[in-house]
Amino acid sequence: MIVLGIETSCDDSAAALVAGGQLLASVVSSQDAVHGPYGGVVPELASRQHIRNLLPVVDQALRRASLTLADVEGIAATRGPGLVGSLLVGLALAKGIAQRRHLRLVGVNHLEGHLLAVNLERPVDDPVPLPFLGLIVSGGHTGLHLARRAGEYACLGRTRDDAVGEAFDKAAKLLGLGYPGGPAIQRAAAGGDPRAIRFPRARVKRSRFDFSFSGCKTALRLHLAGGRPSATALPDVAASIQEALVDMLVETTVEALLATAVERLVVAGGVAANQRLRSRMTEAAAALGVEVLFPRPELCTDNAAMIALAGTPRLLGGTDDGLALAADADLPFGFAWTG
C-alpha cells in the first residue's frame, strides 16, 4: 500500500511516501531561518509557513518517488501532540486530499512516529523485535516508553519541565550560538573538555523515570554571569553543558533498562542525532548487554516518513478516521507503566 505521510506538528513541513513500510521519498522543509532570530519556534509564524510550504513539499515528495496523487492509496497525518495551529494545517490538507481522492485517512501520534522511525531502515519483514524501551528526545518531548506489543505503549516517565532539545536550544541562545541549539552546541563542543565545568544533574525524587532539565539553563546563566564565554573558553562550556544533559538521559535510561529487563533500546527524536549521546548511550547499553538502535540522523528529526510508516498498519486494517479527525495539542502517548 502506498501511503502519503504528512507531518506539521512543529516547525518542519514534511511529506513522504512509504510503500508497504518501505521509504520511497521524504521531503522536509525546515523553518529554521524563520525562527532563528527568535531563538525558538514562534507558533503563529510556524502555521503561516506551513500554509506556504506544505503543498510544494507534497508535490516534491511525489516527484521524487516518481508518483502522482493518483497512485496514493492511503494518507497518514500527525494529529498530535504539537502546536495546534501547525497540526491544523497538515490535517486540513490531508482531509482535502482524502476527500477529493476517496482515500482513507488516519491520524498518527507524533511520538509513535519517532519510535518507529528506526524501522524505516530495516527490511519490511524485520522490524525491531518487541518489546523494546524507547527514549524519545526532541525539542518538544522527553520520555521513556516501553513498546510491548504492536501499537501498545506504556509511559515510564517524562520531563517535568523543559524537553531536552529545548534545554539545548536555550543553552545555545545563552551562548549566542543560534537556533536550533542542539547541532550548534555539538559543533561548539568539539575539542572541549566535558569535565571542565560541573553543571548540576537533576533527579526527580519521587518519580525515578522522570526528567528535569530546566535547572541546567539556570546553572549556565549563573555561570555566564551576564556575559558570553571567550572563543577559547566556549568549547569547554559547550562540552560541559552537553555532558550534563547527556548524563541525565543516560542515567535514567539505564535505570529503566534495569527495571524493564528488555534487550533492546531505541533512541529517537531530534536530540538522538547528538553524537555524544549516541556514543555514551551505546557504551552504557553495551555494559548491560542491551542492543541500542538509533535511526540515522535525518530520520531522528521530524519527518513524515515515520508518520506514514506508523499509520500503515491501521490503514491496511481498514481504519478511516475521516473528516472528523481532530488535532490534539496534548495527545497522550501510552498508558502509565505499572511495572
State the residues that interact with ligand KG4 by CB under 6 A: 10, 138-140, 165, 168-169, 180-183, 186, 269-271, 273-274, 301-302
- Select from 302, 304, 331, 337 the one that contacts Zn ion (CB under 5 A): 302
Q: Which three cell numbers stand for residue 339?
A: 511495572
For the beta carbon of residue 95, count every other beta carbon within 10 angstroms: 18
Distance of alpha carbon 157 from alpha carbon 257, whole angstroms: 13
Closest CA to 180 of 162, 199, 193, 167: 167
Tell me whether strands 142-149 and 152-158 are parallel, antiparallel or unpaired.
antiparallel
Q: Least distance (Å) from Zn ion to the CB of residue 3?
A: 19
223-248 burial: b if 16+ Cβ within 10 Å, else e: eeeeeebeeeebbbbbbbbbbbbbeb
- Select from 138, 142, 159, 252 the one that contacts Zn ion (CB under 5 A): 138
Answer with the entry of ligand KG4, Zn ion, none that 192 interacts with (C-beta below 5 to 8 A by kind). none
Answer with the entry of Zn ion, ligand KG4, none that 182 interacts with (C-beta below 5 to 8 A by kind). ligand KG4
Answer with the entry of ligand KG4, Zn ion, none that 181 interacts with (C-beta below 5 to 8 A by kind). ligand KG4
From edge to edge, which strands make up the β-sheet containing 74-80?
22-30, 12-19, 2-7, 74-80, 104-109
Of 109 and 260, nearer to Zn ion (C-beta) is: 109
Instruction: Identify any residues that bridge with 152 across adjacent strands, giving them in sequence order.
Output: 149
Give CA separation, 323 vs 84, 95, 99, 103, 241, in Å: 17, 6, 8, 11, 46
Q: Which residue reads 481504519 in cell numbers?
A: 319
Give the count of residues interacting with Zn ion (CB under 5 A).
2
Answer with the entry of ligand KG4, Zn ion, none that 183 interacts with (C-beta below 5 to 8 A by kind). ligand KG4
Answer with the entry of ligand KG4, Zn ion, none that 49 interacts with (C-beta below 5 to 8 A by kind). none
Of 11 and 302, nearer to Zn ion (C-beta) is: 302
Listed ranges 133-141, 165-173, 223-231, 246-254: which one lies at the site for Zn ion (CB under 5 A): 133-141
Q: Is 12 in the site for Zn ion (CB under 5 A)?
A: no
Q: Least distance (Å) from ligand KG4 to the CB of residue 277?
A: 7
Of 21 and 82, nearer to Zn ion (C-beta) is: 82
Question: Residue type for 18, please?
Answer: V
Q: Least distance (Å) from ligand KG4 to the CB of residue 75?
A: 21
Answer with the entry of Zn ion, ligand KG4, none that 24 interacts with (C-beta below 5 to 8 A by kind). none
Distance of alpha carbon 328 from alpha carbon 323, whole angstroms: 14
Q: Least distance (Å) from ligand KG4 to the CB of residue 115?
A: 12
Binding residues for Zn ion (CB under 5 A): 138, 302
